[in-house]
Chains A and B, each alone.
Chain A
């Protein structure tokens, strides 16, 4: 046994010095404990990994050492017992069992619990840890231990939506419950509590955005931080916790970095933002004066400002892995509680994004992973019965795409129950029955984002709190993000989230309408279409609703001037339509003028204006004027009866099909029933492949095609792969993937007008049409492409296995 009751120094340090030390200690410990959590889960999965164990041991040891030094007896005792047990693992004297790991995790929870008490009161809370310590010691001695006997302390994780505004840091909520933070907004000085600094410069008020301490202890009990002097001091120091980047292996390695308080960074950021604005103003002035001797130095200043802005932005960037740290532990606990075997695969942890954004998506992500594990995956027994791998997989991945970060949460579970959702929509009257019946599966699935929608048949204590995906969606949309899903029954669900990398500065289009200027965030503008009397695209009217014909689709229009109730708008001629995409909705915003694009710093609107939902904030332009920033999402609702893009498209198909245009179509046979047809334009190639070359793995088929594995799907039940001979395939390709449909026989290619006369009776079919004198089912290519995509997502996890089969 190790003896580490460090030094008799204990508390001859008094007063302020000790408070400071404790604050510092809380910061460090919180960091260490987060690492321990995820390391332990790794360790359980792979007990022979010596390095992982060493890491854990060292971390717990450090915690213990510091406790002793500060005279925190209760903490020290628990850490000590935990360390002893870990020591036995390390010496190889004790086998690593799931129970043992659970016990160590219990002791870590206990440590967090004590720390939270320490944070809020400055003293260790009273309590008895003998039960836990006895268990730890017994386990270390190699005795059998009933771990259920240990009373697990509740370490509540903030459930999403449990607070008035769930995207806020809890401290902020408590301080100013009536304020809603908006994207890019920064809130009142939390610092004031800590340093009673009287007169801060103007920007300080805004500088100190949610100082959410990264401390897990603060989540243990979202303590009124400002209440206790110790805690108040702890907060600013604690908040810099996320600064050091924790890679997988170098968690403890010393890096070339220093700790900087987040407040300082936020302050810098605000200063730079203001500087960018001032630069813009200067540039505006210099543009109007040609002879200016300032032109050259100003140009230089402008470049430097841009570079400075980039550098400061970089300091705010953090790997998304920081928001994932708690997930391994979460999934492990879930796995135990639900009796499901769950693998959590994480990919792209190093992908960086602004820490403000990171904080805002932490909760939604946790919620979604929990959802996937709880509702998405089937119980192990059911999976085995279905012939699926016993271990369910939840896969998290992240990557950059343009100015966005894309995050995917994919499970290979049961997929969404479309029929059940349909019923629920009707039952809850979220949409009229006839509309619901006409909707595609994809449209139905998106209803899980509707407010008040929850399909969980059973409420577990982990999820199903009645707040669900609608809160997630709201949170993500509030930061200018988008969320969508693809779900295939029996194969799993994939959520895709797209979020801007930063919120502080956005590029915006400055538009004019009704004699006033407005800013529109560029990210939501898909394209600009010139309209007007002589333009190619004309605005047309259906009853009172305005629409634009754009590439054979009807785009519903919202007129900015009249919507804003600006009188001057009545005498204006619309000149531009901005095509705006919000989630799955697309509409056109009619403006009178497009004036400029400008990088703008988003400022929140004052409280008195927050009820006006059309605006997400305001900004100061280069010429010093204030413009309001339009919220494209809210605007789509202002316009009211907007036709859903999808239905507009569907309507269009009917219109198009009544025209007597001839379309080249491929006729083929697959399964029983009528011959089938698909527009030739959708097909990339026809292939004839020897059946032997097709690889099969647990009921699915794939082909090595141009160096990659291409999934092969069946057209319908009753059709399938041939047993021998040559298999005809229709190959479809899309961005970065290919898929094939197995058919029985290719009949003919004909040119005929496509007019669908009977509506579809099942998925994958658009309807029935007469082609070349015969009634044919017309294939819905989109449906199969979605399935192909889902297959690809699945395949990446099983590709290595498939490789083995092929060899």
Chain B
């Protein structure tokens, strides 16, 4: 039996989790420079304490609709993939949860392909399901093209 930490977050009302060890920081994505001619998922590039971070919009990546008007300022979690810094732009961050591996399940087979490949698995929490995301496939150029 082993316990893992997950940063939980919400995108479009759905609860997601990312392995806490992978999350470098949480920040407000401000001062974004849009990248013309790039895929729609790319929100832009920004300067985060002297590093150039590429912001990727989780809603677009997951094929969800745009944010509602008047929603609070979005947040981003800092992730590193292949040595590059990314910010995954999400609606909000919840708490860090310690979860038991025993409650972990593989992703169900009936997910749309866009979701299936970026999901590691699912936790059954008491109130709802927590979908665990894989930052690697989420932010990998190859997978993005396929999506």
> A274-313, CB under 8 A of B: which get 1 and which 0?
1001100000000000000000000000000000000000
* Residues in A neighbouring B34, C-beta threshold 8 A: 516
**How close is A169's CB to chain B, nearest CB, in angstroms?**
15
User: Which residues of chain A from 606 to 632 have any CB-CB distance to chain B below 8 Å in the complex?
Assistant: 606-612, 614-615, 618-620, 624-628
Q: Are B83 and A608 in contact (CB under 8 A)?
A: no
Contact call A176/B82, Cβ cutoff below 8 A: yes
Collect the chain B residues with CB atoms within 8 Å of residue A611's CB: 38-39, 141, 145
Query: A625-B33, A626-B46, A628-B33 are contacts. A608–B86 as well, Cβ < 8 Å?
Result: yes
Question: For the complex, is B132 an interface residue (Cβ under 8 Å from A)?
Answer: no
A566 at the interface (CB under 8 A from B): yes
Q: How far is the CA of A609 from the CA of B85 in the complex (A)?
A: 12
Query: How extensive is the interface on chain B, given as a class?
Result: 20 to 34
| In the complex, B52 has a CB within 8 A of chain A | yes
Nearest CB of chain B from residue A625's CB, rounded to whole Å? 6
B50 touches A608 (CB 8 A): no
A139 to B57, CA, bound (A): 73
Instruction: Find out whether the CB atom of B47 lies under 8 angstroms from the CB atom of A609.
Output: no
A608 close to B47 (CB less than 8 A): no
- B54 interface residue per 8 A CB criterion: yes
Residues of B within 8 A of A514 (CB): 36
**Contact of A179 with B by CB under 8 A:** yes
Tell whether A408 is near chain B: CB-to-CB under 8 Å.
no
In whole Å, how far is B26's beta carbon from the nearest beta carbon of chain A?
Answer: 17
* Interface status of B51 (Cβ within 8 A of chain A): yes
Give the residue name and chain of the B residue nearest to A610 (CB).
B141
Residue of B nearest to A608 (CB): B141
User: In the complex, which residue of chain B has the Cβ closest to the Cβ of A565?
Assistant: B36
* B56 at interface by CB-CB < 8 Å: yes
Which partner residue on chain B sits nearest A566 by CB separation?
A: B36
* Contact in complex: A612, B37 (CB < 8 Å): yes
Distance in Å from the Cβ of A302 to the closest Cβ of chain B?
18
Asked if B83 contacts A609 (CB within 8 A), the reply is: no
Chain A, residue nearest B138 (CB): A608
Give the chain A neighbours of B140 by CB distance below 8 A: 607-608
Q: Does A264 contact B (CB under 8 A)?
A: no
* Contact residue among A176, A202, A205, A620 (Cβ-Cβ distance under 8 Å from B47): A620
| A626 and B45 contacting across the interface, CB-CB below 8 Å | yes
B42 close to chain A: CB less than 8 A = yes
Check: B106 CB closer than 8 A to any chain A CB.
Answer: no
Does chain A have a CB within 8 A of B97? Answer: no
CA distance A725 to B91 in the complex (A): 94
Question: Contact: A608 with B56, CB < 8 Å?
Answer: yes
Q: With A178-B142, A179-B82, A188-B83 given, is the CB distance from A608 to B54 under 8 Å?
A: yes
The answer to whether B31 touches A608, judged by C-beta atoms less than 8 angstroms apart, is no
Query: Is the C-beta of B129 less than 8 angstroms from some C-beta in chain A?
Result: no
CB under 8 Å from chain A, chain B span 64-96: 81-86
B144 interfacial contact with A, CB 8 Å: yes
B33 touches A609 (CB 8 A): no
Q: A420 vs B125: C-alpha distance in the bound complex, in angstroms?
A: 73
Question: Of all chain A residues, which has the CB nearest B85?
Answer: A606
Asked if B36 and A564 sit within 8 Å, CB to CB, the answer is yes
Chain B hits for A605, CB < 8 A:
45, 54
B35 at interface, CB cutoff 8 A: yes
Whether the pair A608, B37 counts as a contact (CB closer than 8 A) is: no
Q: Which of A188, A205, A628 has most chain B Cβ within 10 Å?
A: A628
Flag whether B139 is at the interface (Cβ < 8 A).
Answer: yes
Per the bound structure, the CA–CA distance linking A620 and B140 in Å amounts to 24
Judge whether B38 and A609 touch: CB under 8 Å. Answer: yes
Closest to B32 in A: A626
- Given the interface pairs A179-B83, A611-B145, A626-B46, the reply to whether A564 lies near B37 with Cβ below 8 Å is yes
Chain A nearest Cβ from B143, distance in angstroms: 10
CB distance from B25 to the nearest CB of A (A): 12
What string of 1s and 0s marks CB contacts (under 8 Å) between A302-338 and chain B? 0000000000000000000000000000000000000
| A612 with B35, Cβ < 8 A, contacts A178-B142, A603-B52, A628-B45 known | yes
- Residue of B42, B46, B50, B142 touching A609 (CB-CB under 8 A): B42
User: Who on chain A is nearest to B54 by CB?
Assistant: A606
Q: Are A626 and B52 in contact (CB under 8 A)?
A: yes
How distant is the Cα of A619 from the Cα of B34 in the complex, in angstroms? 13
Contact indicator A618/B52 (Cβ below 8 Å): yes
Chain A residues with CB under 8 Å of B84's CB are: 604, 606-608
Write the nearest CB–CB distance from A209 to chain B, whole angstroms.
Answer: 12
Q: A516-B33, A612-B37, A614-B36 are in contact. Are A607 and B45 (CB under 8 A)?
A: no
Of A176, A517, A624, A627, the contact of B83 (CB 8 Å cutoff): A176
B54: which A residues are within 8 A, CB to CB?
605-606, 608-609
A187 at the interface (CB under 8 A from B): yes
B residues near A604, Cβ cutoff 8 Å: 84
B48 (CB) vs chain A CBs: closest residue = A626
Q: Contact between A612 and B142 (Cβ–Cβ < 8 Å)?
A: no
CA distance A197 to B145 in the complex (A): 35
Let me know if A620 and B50 touch, CB within 8 A.
Answer: yes
Give, as a whole number of angstroms, the nearest-CB distance from B109 to chain A: 28
B33 near A624 with CB under 8 A, answer no
**B residues less than 8 Å from A176 (CB atoms):** 82-83
What's the minimum C-beta distance from A744 to chain B, rounded to whole angstroms?
A: 61
For B82, list chain A residues within 8 Å (CB).
Answer: 176, 178-179, 188, 607
Alpha-carbon distance A606/B52, docked complex (angstroms): 9
Please indicate the chain B residues that have their CB under 8 angstroms from the CB of A610 in the complex: 141
Q: How far is the CA of A514 from the CA of B36 in the complex (A)?
A: 10
**Residue of A with least CB distance to B36:** A564
Given A176-B82, A607-B84, check contact A618 B45 (CB 8 Å).
yes
What CA separation (Å) do A612 and B34 show in the bound complex?
Answer: 13
B31 to A, closest residue via Cβ: A625
Contacts of A612 in B (CB 8 A): 35-38
Asked if A624 contacts B31 (CB within 8 A), the reply is: yes
Closest A-chain residue to B46, C-beta based? A626
Closest beta carbon of chain B to A495's beta carbon, Å: 34
- CA–CA, A635 to B2, complex, Å? 53
Residues of chain A with a CB closer than 8 A to B33's CB: 516-517, 618, 625-628
Q: How far is the CA of A234 from the CA of B86 in the complex (A)?
A: 33
3 interchain residue pairs of minimum CB distance: A606-B84, A564-B36, A606-B54
Q: Which residues of B contact A (CB under 8 A)?
A: 31, 33-39, 42, 45-47, 50-52, 54, 56, 81-86, 139-142, 144-145
Residues of A within 8 A of B (CB): 176, 178-179, 187-188, 202, 205, 274, 277-278, 514, 516-517, 564-566, 603-612, 614-615, 618-620, 624-628
- New A-B pairs, 13, CB < 8 Å, besides A607-B140, A627-B33: A179-B82, A188-B82, A565-B36, A608-B42, A608-B54, A608-B140, A608-B144, A609-B42, A610-B141, A611-B145, A612-B36, A626-B33, A628-B33
Q: List 18 A–B pairs whose Cβ atoms lie within 8 Å, in order of A's numbering.
A: A178-B82, A278-B50, A516-B33, A516-B36, A604-B84, A605-B45, A606-B86, A608-B54, A608-B141, A609-B42, A611-B145, A612-B37, A618-B45, A620-B47, A620-B52, A626-B33, A626-B52, A628-B36
